[in-house]
Amino acid sequence: MNLAFDALLDDFNTGPAQIKDFADDVAVVIIGAYTPIEQRQEALDFGGKNGLEFGAEKTEAIIFTCQQLKIESLPHLHMGACDLDYSDAVKYLGILLDSKLTFGPHIREKVKKQLGSYINLGPQWGSRAALACF
C-alpha cells in the first residue's frame, strides 16, 4: 500500500489480531479459539482510529473452524454505522475461502466457469461431442 499504512500495520500486528495486506486488499486475521468480541471489534475499528477509511459494503466477516457453529448466536460486528454479517465463504485474492477451509466452493466455482467457457465455444471448435469422453 504505502509506507504510512505499512507503519500502522507494524504497530497493529501484535497479539491475536494481525492485518495482512496485498496491493489494495486487506485481511484482518484474528487467531485464537476464544477471541473476545472486544478484540474483534478493535481490529475493525483500527482504520478509523488511524485516519483510514475502509468500505463496510465490501467487508465480510468469517470464522474458520472445523466445529459446528451457529452463526446467529455470535455477537454482531460493526464497521462504522454498518453491521457486518458473518459469511459462509469469502473471496480473498481470487480464492474462495469457505469456513471449514475445504476449498470445495472454490473448486466448484472454477469448474463451473470453465465448463461454461467450453460450452460457449460451440461445435465449431475442438473434437465432436460424439467422440469426446467425459
Spatial separation of the C-alpha atoms in residues 48 and 45, rounded to whole Å: 6
Closest CA to 106 of 85, 87, 120, 92: 92
| Choice between 18 and 123, residue whose per-residue pLDDT is larger | 18
Determine the pLDDT at residue 1. Answer: 47
What percent of the chain stands above pLDDT 90? 14
What is the percent of the chain with per-residue pLDDT over 70, rounded to a whole number? Answer: 71
Could you count the other beta carbons within 10 Å of the beta carbon of residue 109? 14
Mean pLDDT for the chain? 76
pTM (two decimals): 0.65
* Per-residue model confidence as pLDDT tens digits over 7-52: 666 766 666 777 777 777 778 777 776 666 677 777 777 777 777 7
Please check the confidence at residue 75 and state whether its pLDDT lies above 70: yes
What ranges do the domains of the chain cover? 3-102
